Structure 1
Amino acid sequence: MAAQQIGRRTLLLGAGVLALTTACSSRTSGPEQSRGTATATTTSGPVRGVRRETGVAFLGIPFAQPPVGALRFAAPAPPIPWTDTRDCTAYGPTAQVKQLSEVTAIPEPSIPGDDILTVNVFTPNPDPDAKLPVLVWIHGGGFVAGSPASPWYDGAAFNRDGVVLVSAGYRLGIEGFLHLDDAPDNRGVLDWIAALTWVRDNIAAFGGDPAKVTIAGQSAGGGAVWALMNTPSAKGLFRAGISESGALTQPNDRATALAMSALFTKRTGRPATAAALRDLSKTGLQDLEDKLRALGPDSSAATLLGLAPWADGTLIPATSAEVLKSDADQYVPLMLGFTAHEFNAAPLTGNRPPVTDTTLPAALGALGFDPSTAAAFTLAYPGLTANQIAGQAQSDVVIRMPSYRVAEMRAGRQQPTWLYEFTWTSTAPDYQGMSFHCLDVPFAFDLLRAQGVTAVTGSNPPQALADAIHQAWVSFVSNGDPGDAWPRYTLDRRETMIWSDASHVQSDPFAAQRPIWLR
């Protein structure tokens, strides 16, 4: 998705800034390795991980062959087996070649190399008899960037609380999602399914229970959870889902996917085929993707959001909009929600003039609000300036409204659903007073001391809030329910967890927005 800028920092849908060059190899470094190693046996061969205070980390384990050569735009192929113990004590290569901006909220490294279809397994106890619950994390990044190797995605706190955490890499952008006439569609989705299949077949060797798998993700990762919930071939690979500020307007429709392919050829002069792209270098393909996604007179919503899961009629049968209108039986519990402000600061920054009372109707019109709906939206957020209203509208259209619609749809079908809003605001200078996109991630992972956290939260983020959110996640992963203090979302009460300095459950907190969000 589009970059949203706040001051000198840029919020992306999970994209990152940290640069690492180490890959999964025989080299190890860092204080954790002094504690020794441990081994586990996968269906492809034995692997070695590094012991840590909270368990063992196995990093960069292949769940598929490197997508190069004939496999570059193919469905993921099973790993080639090995016999010697494979050293997996450092993160493997990433699909992300470059960040979407110079500085981003979440530090997510770009690591060079071809072996990008790997998982990182953090386990408190690699005993096959442990049968621990498992959380599979799918990173964000607008489906075009991001990395599973972020220090914000470390499994230490989950391991401390008896949960196995798995983070997975997948193909991004053109390689993962552009429709090509001579290649399978939704290759990134196929990668997610391959990773989950690997978890089903191997996680017991790391102490996990394949019958107790929850999938989770933030932003584009939350959109991945939604897409997988509506992908028949993924059924049975997980028992619950968590969508954190999820991109729930995807899967796109077929017209959007085909328009993106046509735009690719128009802007690059190359046919949208695997044969024409297979031999390009990673940087060469990235350059073409930059041309495809650049803003221009022929830009549309598809330019920014078109490289994403889409309803191809085979792997993914229906668009997000179609699912909301159907009688689809989403068989798994879902916990979902959003931050209060997501992208509110975007209209406040950059070279654009601020939105005024005069220009507000046009700004809201560009987001799909007709005059009467725009007026109602302004009334739903009293006390805000025109510029603040424009920012809130962007947050609502991109993240908040789609998530609310999903909660309403599922509650209407009596499917187990829990809704939250994260309202705690940052005290950091560049983010002060904002509860923005990505801010809740280190609270959910209980990693407030991780690299880069205080740069976006401020110097003293509340540990009590992290304790509460993280415990709700642990309970949900363990039991399919976040606990007695957080009731299900139902249409009669619409009870929603408000995560704040004084967290509480509120009945129908979005009554003013509902007529607009459900229009």
Structure 2
Amino acid sequence: MSKQPSSTQDRLENQTSDPIVRTESGDIRGRTAGDVHVFKGVPFAAPPFGPNYLRPPQPPEYWRGVRDTLRFGPKSPQVPYPPGIAQGLAELVGTGEDCLTLNVWTPSLRTAGRPVMVWIPGGMFEFHATGAVAYYDGGRFARDGVVCVTINYRVGAQGFLYLADGVPNLGLLDQIAALEWVQKNITAFGGDPGRVTIFGESAGAMSVATLLAVPKAKGLFRRAIVQSGSNPKLNSAATAKRIGQRLAEILGIEATWEAINATSSDRILHAQAQLRDNLVAHPDPAFWGEVALSFLPWAPIIDGDILPVHPIDAMRAGAAADIDLVVGSNTEETRLFLVLDGSIDRITEESLSAIAGLYGLPQEGLDAYRLLHPGASTGELFSAIQTDWFWRIPAIRFADAHAKTARALTYMYEFAWQSPQMGGRLGASHSLEIPFVFDTLGLGTEPLLGPTPAQELADAMHQAWAAFATTGDPGWPKYDAKRRSTMHFDIASRAVDDPLDKKLKLWDSVH
């Protein structure tokens, strides 16, 4: 039964035509757009600078009076995007110190118990990480009875630096702090803290998968959706320390938290950019470890405390047994990167053989890919192999692990809609499903999706995500490790069984 609003809430709403909500830190004023109330730039933690620099997130200070939350907060200070990537993002903010904020869209402040969806954005743990994107607008979820929250978190060295005498995984702790804020405050927005679904894409999806293995996050959410990030490319403590030491060498300082704390944010960002240039120019596994393949120098760290083990190992041990899970990937993930920077046309046979070898795919496996992709160029074969190694095969293994150990339900999807942009070469590439999920086609999406993307597909995907958050059932057959039922999202969507059977056999011996 829905709870009636308190008399205090009634008074707050009646004082102005704009909605006002009382949170633990003070009253906030939002805006009403149609039937949706929107609150932007709501602090869930204090600004992580000054005395809070490179520290775990601290509670925001209580304020008196009513605080306007009408504009998105800035994103975490970060280095510039790699070439080509920024054109596909419709970001609405720059960087700034008061970056630990979130945004809420709700259909009503007077009806309690609504499901809640919390979006964790991606960005390779080094860029982006902001909820302030045109096509992340949560208004369509609110229209369909879901309270939608999008969050910010720290990235790069400020979020994932690891030195012996400091606290690691600050960016991950930011995400947990946002989820704790939701538990304490979302009832005032009409949400049910017992029905929280976390969802994310790319590094945001890796974050979702990682949070399944973090003891501190237990009880903060009931369901999870992992979009293109089900095998988090995390860093071991040894690799993370080596990267921290390399950053300190570039800065010319001791590899200690005291020395880093005394270094300006701008200098750290400059050193970060130089470190990435070093990695790209010389990706030697002897030095970079697993980062030589993942190219994610700043990522969650398996530190033995905040993150005790890798999420796939935690999953196999039953860590997410009570969490309903949707896992998925896109058919041609890697094309986003190879097409936007033009490298898809510069890949040689030598490069193709080398990357297959680095991934552990034997020559007969490479030959099999040629048969499975007749007429594909060398660059297109490279893209197919990398897509399967980084995203599609790990999604199956992650879903298998959950389905074998969980009491809750598992679901799998594949996004296969082909973008017409760039001569059709983008295909169903990385991140293209996001505006379909949010039902925000046309909000900054034309560079990647074209002028007339498939609204009927957005209707189907958005409704499935909202249904999963509401009931735990997205509307297609559940997944098990034998049939591997998968919803194939395209103009004509349909459920299929074990669509990657032939490719999975090629990767059986590769971990």
Q: TM-score, normalised by structure 1?
A: 0.87
**Structure 1 Cα separation of the partners of residues 351 and 95 of structure 2:** 45
2:55 aligned with 1:74, yes or no?
yes
Counterpart residue number, 1:506: 496
Q: Is the 8 A contact 1:140 1:219 kept in 2?
A: yes
Of 505-514 and 99-108, deviating more is 99-108
1:446 to 430, 439, 443: 439
Of 375-384 and 315-324, deviating more is 375-384
Q: Is the 8 A contact 1:345 1:391 kept in 2?
A: no
Counterpart residue number, 2:184: 201
Structure 1 residues 74 and 498, CA gap change in structure 2 (3 angstroms): same
Counterpart residue number, 2:11: none
User: Following superposition of structure 1 onto structure 2, how do residues 42-81 of structure 1 map, counting pairs within 5 Å?
Assistant: 42-81=23-62
Question: Which of the two has greater helix per residue?
Answer: 2
1:87 to 54, 58, 68: 68
**Structure 1 Cα separation of the partners of residues 321 and 89 of structure 2:** 31
Structure 1 residues 42 and 345, CA gap change in structure 2 (3 angstroms): closer
Counterpart residue number, 1:270: 253
Identity %: 36
Q: Is the 8 A contact 1:343 1:392 kept in 2?
A: yes
**Structure 2 Cα separation of the partners of residues 247 and 490 of structure 1:** 16
**Structure 2 Cα separation of the partners of residues 243 and 203 of structure 1:** 22
User: Following superposition of structure 1 onto structure 2, how do residues 179-194 of structure 1 map, counting pairs within 5 Å?
Assistant: 179-194=162-177
Q: How big is the shift at 1:362?
A: 2.1
**Structure 2 Cα separation of the partners of residues 271 and 347 of structure 1:** 38
2:149 aligned with 1:166, yes or no?
yes
Letter in 1 for 2:354: A
1:302 to 282, 285, 291: 291
| SS of residue matched to 1:513 | helix
Q: Is the 8 A contact 1:338 1:421 kept in 2?
A: yes
Q: Is the 8 A contact 2:442 2:451 kept in 1?
A: no
2:478 aligned with 1:497, yes or no?
no
Q: Is the 8 A contact 2:87 2:447 kept in 1?
A: no
Structure 1 residues 284 and 190, CA gap change in structure 2 (3 angstroms): same
Q: Is the 8 A contact 1:405 1:517 kept in 2?
A: no
| SS of residue matched to 2:176 | helix
Q: How big is the shift at 1:178?
A: 1.2
Structure 1 residues 359 and 65, CA gap change in structure 2 (3 angstroms): closer
Q: CA deviation digits over 1:168-215, x for unaligned, max 9?
A: 111111011110233211111111111100000000111111111100
Q: How big is the shift at 1:366?
A: 3.2
| SS of residue matched to 1:305 | coil
| SS of residue matched to 1:396 | helix
**Structure 2 Cα separation of the partners of residues 347 and 100 of structure 1:** 15
Q: CA deviation digits over 1:405-429, x for unaligned, max 9?
A: 1012222225521111111101123
Counterpart residue number, 1:437: 430
2:419 to 426, 439, 443: 426
Structure 1 residues 459 and 386, CA gap change in structure 2 (3 angstroms): same
2:453 aligned with 1:461, yes or no?
yes
Counterpart residue number, 1:472: 464
1:487 to 477, 495, 502: 477
Q: How big is the shift at 1:275?
A: 1.7
Q: How well do the aligned residues superpose, as a CA RMSD in angstroms?
A: 2.2
Structure 1 residues 36 and 272, CA gap change in structure 2 (3 angstroms): farther
Q: CA deviation digits over 1:107-127, x for unaligned, max 9?
A: 224424311111111111122
2:319 aligned with 1:334, yes or no?
no
2:405 aligned with 1:396, yes or no?
no
Counterpart residue number, 1:214: 197
| SS of residue matched to 1:263 | helix
Q: Is the 8 A contact 1:347 1:355 kept in 2?
A: no
Q: TM-score, normalised by structure 2?
A: 0.89
Structure 1 gaps of 5+ residues are: 1-34
2:149 aligned with 1:144, yes or no?
no
**Structure 2 Cα separation of the partners of residues 172 and 283 of structure 1:** 14
| SS of residue matched to 1:100 | coil
Q: How big is the shift at 1:380?
A: 4.0
Q: Is the 8 A contact 2:312 2:398 kept in 1?
A: no
Structure 2 gaps of 5+ residues are: 1-15
Structure 1 residues 158 and 345, CA gap change in structure 2 (3 angstroms): closer
**Structure 1 Cα separation of the partners of residues 271 and 17 of structure 2:** 44
Structure 1 residues 152 and 98, CA gap change in structure 2 (3 angstroms): farther
User: Following superposition of structure 1 onto structure 2, how do residues 229-268 of structure 1 map, counting pairs within 5 Å?
Assistant: 229-246=212-229, 248-268=231-251
1:369 to 347, 354, 361: 361
**Structure 2 Cα separation of the partners of residues 251 and 510 of structure 1:** 25
Runs of 4+ in 1 over 6 A off after TM superposition: none
Of 158-167 and 277-286, deviating more is 277-286
